[in-house]
A and B are shown apart, each in its own frame.
Chain A
Amino acid sequence: MTKSYEEIPLTPISNTPSTMNMTGLWRAFRPIVDISKCKRCTICWKFCPDAAIKLVDFVPVIDLKYCKGCGICSAECPAKCIEMIKEGIE
């Protein structure tokens, strides 16, 4: 049951940081990086709207806890080395 307007704060407050929001659960497609073809240009890292890409020696490592599977990294990669594959298919 919703609390009375008298018992709620002025504006909704969330006490958990956005890192608790596991946006990876939304994903329908998963980015797979072919490291052998990667040019280490970091373009994918710059474009990821969810900051789900970390760089290790300039090579992208995708954090699947947060990656929403939008495919922007794959579309922007000049070396065409990020492939989007349907979730659930190994």
Chain B
Amino acid sequence: MRQVMTGNYASAYGAKLSRAEVIAAYPITPQTSIVEKLAELVSTGELKAKFISVESEHSAMAACISASIVGARTYTATSSHGLTLMHEVLMWASGARLPIVITNVSRAMAPPWSVWADHMDSIAQRDTGWLQFFCSSNQEVLDTTIMAYKICESRNVMLPAMVIEDAFILSHTSEPVDMPEQEAVDSFLPSFSPELKVEIGKPMGFGSLVKPDQYMEFRYKAMLAMKAARERILRVEKEFKQVFGREYGGLLENYRCDDAEVVLVAAGSTAATAKDVVDSLREKGQKVGLARLRVFRPFPHEEFRALASKVAGIAVLDRSYTFGVSGAFFTEIKGSIYDCPKRPAMKNYIAGLGGRDITPKILEKIFDDIQLFVKRREETDVEWVDVAGLPRRWH
């Protein structure tokens, strides 16, 4: 049934349809209406779950970990400073191999204080061992939440996942969302039954101390699991399409890339705008495409290498900046294609920090710029877009 809802409600309904059994959340800012909606669904009995209000996001994740250890399907949502406060326990969740799913409403980090869209919070968690899905629509947010549980809970993965939606542009903006039937979701996503869990009368400690001669083997296993997640993501999406009729393009969605000379790489809501820009530039005869980075962890190496062999230039839009380097997407994509026989020209565009609008006009200019860059490389390959005081005009 189609309904009009915000990205936050799409997240909440995604967790509800997945039958999350324990939801632990910090209820105050930077929290969003996601857990407010879930608390309501729990209080009316529509969702049979235990809702635990805690005193911090660090505690929220600690509670999710404990619940997951006893075999409950768990969920929480957070944003910006809440996510970074969770950092330590995010590592614990992946190391203990618990398939917890969370939504992060991606926002800028302070100072300067901000509550608007930016990917810095999510990017700062890239080494925590979590799968990371960047969504471009509210429908994708709901569908990805359901798929994430199925991906993560499979025996050869058993890692947690973060579903990322851009603050306000998705989180507080209403869009039509097709709400799947509960029965259909139930048969798509069976209940969580881990091989190993703590039970009454069977006490255990998860993630206990090991000596240097044992540590690496556990990390090696997690590495294999992250590798296995790649195939699992593709398979689950295929199954999802069969049942619900929707698909999102795997780890890296190629949009009109087949005969493209240059492509833009973008993630999140910007990627949705970029599709319209690609369409209008195509009408004008420009051979441009969009590669939407949907899954950042595991990183789509193979997809980028395939793309690199086809195009002359790649523009990478990062909505975050790693000081002293460049945008994170840029560095990783570059590293990924280093030993490809054919390496396209690559330029990084830092844009939209702290919720600054990334307009179709700006994206058009990025496409113009990368086409010039392919012909005549400049000294710098990292450009800050739309910063007051810089000579280039973007509007």
| B14 in contact (CB, < 8 A) | no
Asked whether, in the complex, the Cβ of A8 is within 8 Å of the Cβ of B221, the reply is yes
| B208 in contact (CB, < 8 A) | yes
CB-based closest 9 A-B pairs: A14-B208, A14-B205, A10-B97, A5-B217, A12-B208, A11-B96, A11-B207, A12-B210, A11-B97
Asked whether, in the complex, the Cβ of B214 is within 8 Å of the Cβ of A11, the reply is no
Asked whether, in the complex, the Cβ of B207 is within 8 Å of the Cβ of A5, the reply is no
Chain B hits for A2, CB < 8 A? 213-214, 217
A12–B205 Cα distance when bound, in Å, is 8
Known A10-B221, A11-B95; further 4 A-B contacts with Cβ < 8 A: A3-B217, A11-B206, A12-B207, A15-B203
Determine which of B95, B208, B213, B220 lies in contact with A13 in the assembled complex, contact meaning CB atoms within 8 Å: B208
B218: min CB distance to chain A, Å: 6
Q: Mark B142-175, 1 if CB is under 8 A from A, else 0.
A: 0000000000000000100000000000000000
Interchain Cβ contacts under 8 Å between A and B, 9 examples:
A2-B213, A5-B221, A8-B214, A8-B217, A10-B97, A11-B206, A12-B207, A13-B204, A14-B209
Residue of A at shortest CB range from B158?
A: A10
A2–B96 Cα distance when bound, in Å, is 20
| A9 in contact (CB, < 8 A) | yes
Asked whether, in the complex, the Cβ of B203 is within 8 Å of the Cβ of A11, the reply is no
| B200 in contact (CB, < 8 A) | no
Interface residues on B, range: 10 to 19
Residue of A at shortest CB range from B196?
A: A9
Q: Mark B82-97, 1 if CB is under 8 A from A, else 0.
A: 0000000000000111
Chain A hits for B158, CB < 8 A? 10
Q: Mark B243-274, 1 if CB is under 8 A from A, else 0.
A: 00000000000000000000000000000000
Asked whether, in the complex, the Cβ of B217 is within 8 Å of the Cβ of A13, the reply is no
A81–B177 Cα distance when bound, in Å, is 68
A9–B158 Cα distance when bound, in Å, is 12
A3–B217 Cα distance when bound, in Å, is 9
A17–B207 Cα distance when bound, in Å, is 13
| A36 in contact (CB, < 8 A) | no
A33–B193 Cα distance when bound, in Å, is 51
Determine which of A3, A4, A9, A17 lies in contact with B203 in the assembled complex, contact meaning CB atoms within 8 Å: A17
Q: Across the A-B interface, how many residue pairs have beta carbons closer than 8 Å?
A: 47
Determine which of A3, A4, A12 lies in contact with B209 in the assembled complex, contact meaning CB atoms within 8 Å: A12
A14–B206 Cα distance when bound, in Å, is 7
Q: Which of A17-41 contact B (CB under 8 A)?
A: 17-18
Could you tell me which B residues sit within 8 Å of A by CB distance? Answer: 95-97, 158, 196, 203-210, 213-214, 217-218, 220-221
A18–B196 Cα distance when bound, in Å, is 20
Chain A hits for B210, CB < 8 A? 12
A3–B211 Cα distance when bound, in Å, is 13
A25: min CB distance to chain B, Å: 16
Chain B hits for A5, CB < 8 A? 217-218, 220-221
Residue of A at shortest CB range from B222?
A: A10
A1–B188 Cα distance when bound, in Å, is 43
Most buried by A among B158, B196, B210, B217: B217
A10: min CB distance to chain B, Å: 4
Given A10-B158, A12-B214, also A18-B220 (CB < 8 A): no
Residue of B at shortest CB range from A9?
A: B196
Chain A hits for B204, CB < 8 A? 13-15
Asked whether, in the complex, the Cβ of B214 is within 8 Å of the Cβ of A10, the reply is no
A14: min CB distance to chain B, Å: 4
Asked whether, in the complex, the Cβ of B221 is within 8 Å of the Cβ of A13, the reply is no
Residue of B at shortest CB range from A21?
A: B209
A10–B95 Cα distance when bound, in Å, is 9
A71–B209 Cα distance when bound, in Å, is 26
Asked whether, in the complex, the Cβ of A13 is within 8 Å of the Cβ of B203, the reply is no
Asked whether, in the complex, the Cβ of B209 is within 8 Å of the Cβ of A13, the reply is no
A44: min CB distance to chain B, Å: 26
Chain A hits for B203, CB < 8 A? 15, 17
Chain A hits for B221, CB < 8 A? 5, 8, 10
B121: min CB distance to chain A, Å: 26
